[in-house]
Structure 1
Amino acid sequence: MLEAVRRGAFADQALERHAAALTAADRRLAQELAYGVLRLRGRLDHILDRLVDGGVGRLDPEVLDALRLGAYQLLELDRVPAYAAVSQAVESVKRGASRRAGAAALVNAVLRRLGDGSYESFAFPDPDRDHVGWLASWGSHPRWLVERWLERWPAEEVDRLVDYNNRRPGVYLTAIHDREEALARLAEAGIAGRAADGSIHSVEIDPGNVVAALDRVAAVVQDPAAATVVDYMGLDPGVPVADLCAAPGGKAALLASRGHAVRAFDVSATRLERLRSNRSRLGLEEMQIVVADATRPPLSRAPIVLLDVPCTGTGTLARHPDARWRLDRSNLEALIDLQRRLLDSAARLIEPGGLLVYATCSLEPEENEGQVEEFLARQRAFELEPPPASAVADELLGSRGELRVLPQRHEMDGAYAARLRRRAG
């Protein structure tokens, strides 16, 4: 999995591909190891750099991954004996593509130098003197990213965000119908669930119960923040909706379950497969699913458009730990340009009096309020409007009525949305 991620695969896709044949227990362990290494890579590398002569920069990627896996097990997983963690790492180097002389001996020596697997033996930057260095190493985030956040928020708030991103995220279902009914059905099946904060449709369950839960209740796996975007839309019952960047389709499924005639578009046929599966499982056969480029959608007009654009995803780094290492400033600039083109394309579809809902899972202002401000300056026929009263909790709304969900404040994934109304005249 780690090799696949190194070669450009997303961690969740690599897990699906490489862990498909594993038992449920082995799959959970594989995810724990791979996601844990990705989540704490900066912290692990800080330690390993002090144990490897010449630093980790000189190592082959396969060797470095083996060291990270061994170090993660020694430092974070009490249930894995030290000898087993060291042995597995050494054997993986022997079996791997990198069989350079001495690699296995190096891995063995370095991991044994970790001793009892305690962080106390290693010095990290003092947060009072080098806060960025501390967040980059102990906090395991790219320096450029935490520097951006420290320019925007107090240090204590950035600390909370980094801490949130390094925790194992909860597993949530969005109940397609009534949440209380879903909780009752789960209880009947002996599956523990609880009402989650954020959306009135969200239920938190144990990670090991996902398959069993989906067999018992009509639901999709979805963080409460994503469900909150649909709540924020505040649509009248039954109005048709075009979802232009729909995959993997959780929002489209939720909209269709509320009686909306949904046309779901995405440029990726592969990523739409999950939506097709959910459509069948949930009995939402009237929902249309179309492979199409949202910069050139096969539509003439639409009363309501949801535009959940590709973004940096900095609000979902706990759930997608590989994303933090994939991002750089050039990614941000390219995404901003794509979002601008998608917004202008969607605007051409909106009927007079119609609604365009722009959404991201980013925390970055250039992708959120900055993008909306520029859109309103270009598209004078549109105006920003707040959601209907009680659509979402007031604490999730900005001063202008935009949805702003922040992990460090609201204990769920980050999300942003804005309702952009085309004037009727």
Structure 2
Amino acid sequence: MPQPTVGRQAALEALARFREGELGDRALDAATHGMEPRERAWTQELVYGTFRLRGRIDHVLNQFARDGVDSLHPEVLDVLRLGAYQLLEMGSVPPYAAVSQSVELVRMAGVPRAAGLVNGILQNMQRRPQFAFPDFGHDPVAHLEAWGSHPRWLVQRWIGRWGRDAARALVEANNLRPELYIRPLDVSIDEARARLAAAEIESETVDFSPDSLRILPPASAAQALAAVPAVVQDPAAALVVRYAAVPAGATVLDLAAAPGGKAMGLADGAGRVAAADLSARRMRRVVENAERIGWGDRVGAVVADGRRPPFRPVDAVLLDAPCTGTGTFRRHPDGRWRVTEDDIASLARLQDELLAAAAACVKPGGVLVYSTCSLEHEENELRVETFLAGRTGWTLEPPAGAVDADLLDDAGRLCVLPQRQGVDGAFAARLRRAA
């Protein structure tokens, strides 16, 4: 039998790294290091697709695994998930190749006794034309857990908050492949589009996010960034910067800046931005972004703990706080399997600490913007309400006309939802310190 392809071996390594605690994108980068671009793209589709549809795949596998997927050796289950995704979603892969390569992959992984099991399950899957899933009308939680491929606890939370139809819309939005967006810097949207067109790259404006451009396939991020000064940035993140409404020429502190997209957006209008983050590795990306645009003099990078920021008070502070990231499951599909319900409470405590430290860095009369890419009330509205309830001299001050009114909640806080806007989720609240 032929050896498994390099892409399949790398995909299995990425899933193993994820099980050991690595983030999905880092696991993929490590597993595909040095791989040629076309093979890496195929591997990314296999890995991210398996993350995205893991719940659906496991539901199907449970119909063939005698004692259920939870009883399987972790390496065997990873191989089965990869093989099942190829059978279910990758039409370019012949079924015989998906099966035979999975059998060899499990042997290579050091579990040769499971070769017959893998072969039998995938062969049986291949022969069955369709599979049974829970009915949405009868049991929406089970349907969104299985067909929708989301953890039960999250589905239950979202149904309780928005109702079952909106929860289904959110789950369906999360299961779409993310589109490519950029935020041009130092050039107008019209000029950016002209430069992209000259490079034979098609783009579209985004109605609700005036600073964003959607890059149409087959153009890559690298090609777009070579044609126009910009950062790769989802419209939700660009809206946070627009909502911040930092005055021209202001000195700004970005307290959790990596990888630097929002810091670069702030620097497009502000005077100078000090970008800080606890991770030296991630801060290197901020420096690389600034140097690529030629903004080394506008964006300064500091490795620092946001709970103890080594800065004097400035005009404006952005705290894009660490969070569960439940608004970015389309872009980071591994997140839905990594985040737990307990993480919400532990992150809320960290967010309170960071907010208190950020507030101390704001001059009297200055602005503090708190943002997350979470959809969860405990990380968003409740954190702001708790902050304001415990302090005098601070008020919620939404910027007049900075973003469309339908992107704001009743209190004037920014709320971007994947099921409504079709992009990442984002939350932001703009707070003013009394002069």
* TM superposition score category, shorter chain reference: over 0.9
The residue number in structure 2 matching 1:196 is: 206
The residue number in structure 1 matching 2:10 is: none
The residue number in structure 1 matching 2:407 is: 396
Which of 40, 49, 55 in structure 2 is aligned with 1:27?
40
Distance 1:180 1:138 in 2: 42
Distance 2:378 2:361 in 1: 24
Residues 334-392 of structure 1, C-alpha deviations (whole Å, 9 max, x = no match) = 10000000001111121111110000000000111111000000122211011122x11
Asked if 2 retains the 8 angstrom alpha-carbon contact of 1:75 and 1:117, the reply is no
The residue number in structure 2 matching 1:374 is: 386
Distance 2:290 2:165 in 1: 43
The residue number in structure 1 matching 2:320 is: 308
Distance 2:79 2:181 in 1: 32
The residue number in structure 1 matching 2:289 is: 278
Distance 1:404 1:179 in 2: 24
Residues 286-336 of structure 1, C-alpha deviations (whole Å, 9 max, x = no match) = 111000000000013122000000001000011101111111121111100
Distance 2:235 2:127 in 1: 39
Does structure 1 residue 363 correspond to structure 2 residue 383? no
Q: Which moved more, 1:203-212 or 1:257-266?
A: 203-212
Asked if 2 retains the 8 angstrom alpha-carbon contact of 1:360 and 1:417, the reply is yes
Which of 238, 241, 246 in structure 2 is aligned with 1:227?
238
Change beyond 3 A, Cα 1:207–1:350? farther
SS of the equivalent of 1:400 reads coil
Shift of 1:263: 0.3
The residue number in structure 2 matching 1:187 is: 197
Shift of 1:115: 2.2
Distance 1:126 1:323 in 2: 26
The residue number in structure 1 matching 2:267 is: 256
The residue number in structure 1 matching 2:225 is: 214
Residues 131-188 of structure 1, C-alpha deviations (whole Å, 9 max, x = no match) = 1011111101010111011111021111110000011111111111211111111111
Which of 90, 107, 119 in structure 2 is aligned with 1:94?
107
Quote the sequence identity (%): 50
Distance 1:6 1:322 in 2: 10
Shift of 1:117: 6.5
**1:411-422 superposed matches below 5 A:** 411-422=422-433
Asked if 2 retains the 8 angstrom alpha-carbon contact of 1:197 and 1:224, the reply is no
Q: TM-score, normalised by structure 2?
A: 0.94
The residue number in structure 2 matching 1:340 is: 352
Q: Which moved more, 1:412-421 or 1:176-185?
A: 176-185
Amino acid at match of 1:264: A
SS of the equivalent of 1:78 reads coil
SS of the equivalent of 2:307 reads coil
SS of the equivalent of 1:362 reads coil
Amino acid at match of 2:263: A
Change beyond 3 A, Cα 1:93–1:99? same
Change beyond 3 A, Cα 1:231–1:108? same
The residue number in structure 1 matching 2:334 is: 322
SS of the equivalent of 2:327 reads coil
Amino acid at match of 1:188: A
Asked if 2 retains the 8 angstrom alpha-carbon contact of 1:171 and 1:207, the reply is no
The residue number in structure 2 matching 1:155 is: 164
Amino acid at match of 1:202: S
Structure 1 unmatched runs, 5+: none
Asked if 2 retains the 8 angstrom alpha-carbon contact of 1:191 and 1:209, the reply is no
SS of the equivalent of 1:265 reads strand
Shift of 1:42: 0.4
Shift of 1:196: 2.6
Q: Which moved more, 1:174-183 or 1:238-247?
A: 174-183
Distance 2:192 2:30 in 1: 30
Q: Which moved more, 1:13-22 or 1:405-414?
A: 13-22
Distance 1:292 1:259 in 2: 22
The Cα RMSD (Å) is 1.2
Change beyond 3 A, Cα 1:207–1:376? farther
Q: TM-score, normalised by structure 1?
A: 0.96
Residues 1-29 of structure 1, C-alpha deviations (whole Å, 9 max, x = no match) = 11111111111112222223122211111
The residue number in structure 2 matching 1:114 is: 125
Change beyond 3 A, Cα 1:117–1:218? farther
The residue number in structure 2 matching 1:406 is: 417
Between the two proteins, the alignment pairs up a number of residues equal to 419
Asked if 1 retains the 8 angstrom alpha-carbon contact of 2:246 and 2:270, the reply is no
Which of 149, 152, 176 in structure 2 is aligned with 1:143?
152
SS of the equivalent of 1:242 reads strand
Distance 1:257 1:30 in 2: 36
Distance 1:169 1:111 in 2: 29
Residues 392-418 of structure 1, C-alpha deviations (whole Å, 9 max, x = no match) = 111111111110000101111000000
Asked if 2 retains the 8 angstrom alpha-carbon contact of 1:257 and 1:284, the reply is no
